[in-house]
Structure formats: C-alpha cells, structure tokens
A and B are shown apart, each in its own frame.
Chain A
Amino acid sequence: MKISTRGRYGLRLLVDIAEQATEAPIALSAIAKRQNLSEKYLQQVALLLARGGVLTSVKGSGGGYSLAKRPEEILMYNVLDLLEGNIAFEEEPPANETAVQQVIRHHFYRAVDRNVRTAFGELNLADVMKADWFSYEI
C-alpha cells in the first residue's frame, strides 16, 4: 500500500493555499517556490482539485488558485479520495469473483473502508490548519 506522489503533492498544495489565509488567488509559481516542488507538476494536481470542486481557478495576470469553499466545508476524506482516485480497498467485483475473493471483500476490504471513514469522520481543512489538529478526537 503506497501513497502516490500526486496525493502527497496535492495535499501540500492545498495546505499551502489554506495557510495563505486569503481569498485572493495564489499563483502556482509562488507555491512551487515555497514548497520546492515543480510548477508543472503542481498544475496537474491543481487541475484535479479544481475539477473535484475543492479549488477555483482564476485565469489571467494575478490569477492562480483559491479554495472553492470555506475550509470547514472541505472534508479531508473527500480530498484524499479525489487525489488518490478512490481510497477504498473494496473494488467492483469481477463477474467471475471467487468465493475467497467475496469473503475478503465483504469481511475485510469493506470493513477497513468503514474504519477509515470513521477515523476521518468530519475532519476538515479548518481542523487541519489548527496547530494541534492531530490530537483531534476520532
């Protein structure tokens, strides 16, 4: 089980934008500089977050990206799911699913997914921005 580079960069991009605490769009070049990440790569990730309704893109000079919603409304579970392209272990069963696969899907993958959802709960971007967020009660 591995977290993708896209996931890690996407989260840093999002937290960076939230840290600027402004509604003005943030240029990707500035984020690239602060985070020491490639601007080209950030463009792809920003596009993904914009398509998913997390960021809003503003074109033109002075353009960039800003949060599409208030940080309280951006659920971290949804962000990870978007960045990783589905974080659930349970997959659509194949037509010829074996009995063993079905048991593992019902009694392990589905249960793990439920546990992950519970762990994240309503954890949102505003919680994460608090200095002591990881003492967050789950």
Chain B
Amino acid sequence: MKLSTKGRYSLETMVYLATSKDLVSIRTISEATGISGGYLEQLMIPLRQAGLVVSQRGVQGGYAIARKKITCHDVLLASEGEFTPTPCKDCTQTTICKTYQIWALLENAVIDYSKNVYIEDLAGHLLEGQKGGGM
C-alpha cells in the first residue's frame, strides 16, 4: 500500500492554497512546494473537476481553494480515485473472503481517518509554524 506521489503532491498543493484567501499563481505554489509548474497544472485538473479548487486565467489569475471543510479524503479521492480494496480477479466472494476483509480493515482505517482531517486545519498548523519562525 503506497500513497502515490500524485496524492502526496495534491495534498501539499491544497494545504498551501488553504493558507491564502487570494488567488495564488502556479509559480508561487511551485516555489512553496517545490513541485514543478507543469506538474502542478496536471494536478489541478482533477482537483478542479472535483470542485476543490477554483481557477482564474489571465495575468492576475491563479488558483484558490474552493470552499471550507475539504478533507484529506476529498483530495485523495479526487487525485487517486476511489480507494477500496481490490478484489482478486473475478472474485464474487468478497463478503466471506477472509483476506478481502483484512484489506478492507486496513483501507477503512485509512479512509475513516482521512475523512476527519480538514485541509484548513493543516493550513492552520502551517501558518502557526511560520508565525513562530520555526519553519
């Protein structure tokens, strides 16, 4: 089980966006996160489609977080797709399969937790750290 780079970068992008009320340019996001501009543009596509970011074109353009109460699960769902356990090929026994149930336990532990962590709270920690000058 691995969280993909795409998922990790999407979380980083969202947390950074949540620290600003204004539109943020790709260049600024790139400087803060170390993610290349080209890759950021790619990451934004599913995030925008899922209604998690809004964008504006033009000189003053950029991206902003779309709303409050976005969870880490929302972001990972948009960037990585549904994370449900993968049944073995052609399996119709997932409800009674011992091994499937173990994977379900693992994934539920991840999913349930991710649904309770808000991007804005992570952004709050980030701003706090910057205020303290420690980071």
Hey, which bits of chain A sit against chain B, CB under 8 A? 1-4, 7-8, 11-12, 15, 76, 80, 84, 87, 89, 96, 98-104, 106-109, 111-112, 115-116, 118-120, 123, 128-129, 133-134, 138
Given known A-B contacts A2-B1, A98-B34, A107 and B125 have beta carbons under 8 A apart: yes
Given known A-B contacts A80-B106, A89-B3, A119-B105, A100 and B98 have beta carbons under 8 A apart: no
Distance between Cα atoms of A122 and B17 in the complex (Å): 40
The answer to the question of B114 belonging to the interface, with a C-beta cut-off of 8 Å to chain A, is yes
- What residues of B have a CB within 8 angstroms of the CB of A129 in the complex? 98
Q: Are A76 and B129 in contact (CB under 8 A)?
A: no
Hey, which bits of chain B sit against chain A, CB under 8 A? 1-4, 7-8, 11-12, 15-16, 32-34, 72, 76, 80, 83, 85-86, 88, 98-99, 101-110, 112-114, 117, 121-122, 125-126, 129-130, 135
CB-based A-B contact count at 8 angstroms: 116
Q: Are B105 and A104 in contact (CB under 8 A)?
A: no
Given known A-B contacts A103-B122, A107-B122, A112 and B130 have beta carbons under 8 A apart: no
Closest beta carbon of chain A to B67's beta carbon, Å: 19
19 contacts between A and B (CB under 8 A): A1-B76, A1-B83, A2-B83, A3-B1, A3-B85, A3-B103, A15-B99, A84-B1, A87-B1, A89-B110, A102-B129, A104-B11, A107-B121, A108-B122, A111-B117, A112-B114, A115-B113, A120-B109, A129-B98
Q: Are B105 and A120 in contact (CB under 8 A)?
A: yes
Q: Are B117 and A2 in contact (CB under 8 A)?
A: no
- What residues of A have a CB within 8 angstroms of the CB of B112 in the complex? 115
Q: Are A2 and B15 in contact (CB under 8 A)?
A: no
CB-contact partner of A1 in B12, B102, B110, B135, under 8 A:
B110
Distance between Cα atoms of A51 and B10 in the complex (Å): 36
Q: Are B101 and A8 in contact (CB under 8 A)?
A: no
Distance between Cα atoms of A100 and B119 in the complex (Å): 11
Closest beta carbon of chain B to A49's beta carbon, Å: 14
Q: Are A112 and B113 in contact (CB under 8 A)?
A: yes
Closest beta carbon of chain A to B12's beta carbon, Å: 5
